Amino acid sequence: MNELREDGFLKERLDMVEYQLRRRGIRDPRVLAAMARVPRHLFVPPQLRGEACADYPLPIGAGQTISQPYIVARMTEALELNGTEKVLEIGTGSGYQTAILAELAREVCTVERIPELSEEAGERLSSLGYTNVRFLVGDGTLGVPEEAPFDRIIATASLPRIPNALLAQLADYGIIVAPIGGRGFQRLLKLRKSGDGFEEIELGECRFVPIIGKEGW
List residues binding ligand SAH (CB under 6 A). Answer: 60, 64-67, 90-91, 93-94, 96-97, 111-114, 117, 139-141, 156-157, 209, 211-213, 216
Task: Return the bridge partners of 159, or none.
Answer: 180
Q: Does the active-site annotation cover 67?
A: yes
From 67, 94, 118, 158, active-site residue = 67
**Cis amide prior to 149 (ω within 30 degrees):** yes
Other C-beta atoms within 10 Å of 45: how many? 13
Q: Distance of CA 67 to CAs 35, 135, 155, 201, Å?
A: 13, 19, 12, 21
Shortest distance (Å) from residue 60 CB to ligand SAH: 6
**Shortest distance, CB of residue 10 to ligand SAH, whole angstroms?**
20
Return the number of other C-beta atoms located less than 10 Å from residue 10's C-beta.
14
Are 141 and 165 in contact, with CB atoms under 8 Å apart?
yes
- Based on CB atoms, which residue is closest to ligand SAH, 125 or 195? 125
Q: Measured from the CB of residue 65, what is the shortest distance to ligand SAH in angstroms?
A: 6
Q: Which is nearer to ligand SAH, 26 or 117 (CB)?
A: 117
The alpha carbon of residue 129 and the mean position of all alpha carbons in its chain are separated, in whole angstroms, by 18
Positive or negative, the CA dihedral 217, 78, 142, 121 is positive
| Closer residue to ligand SAH in complex, CB, 174/213 | 213
CB of 2 to ligand SAH, least distance (A): 22
Using the minimum distance from each CB to ligand SAH, give the nearer residue, 175 or 177.
Answer: 177
Q: Which residues are catalytic?
A: 67
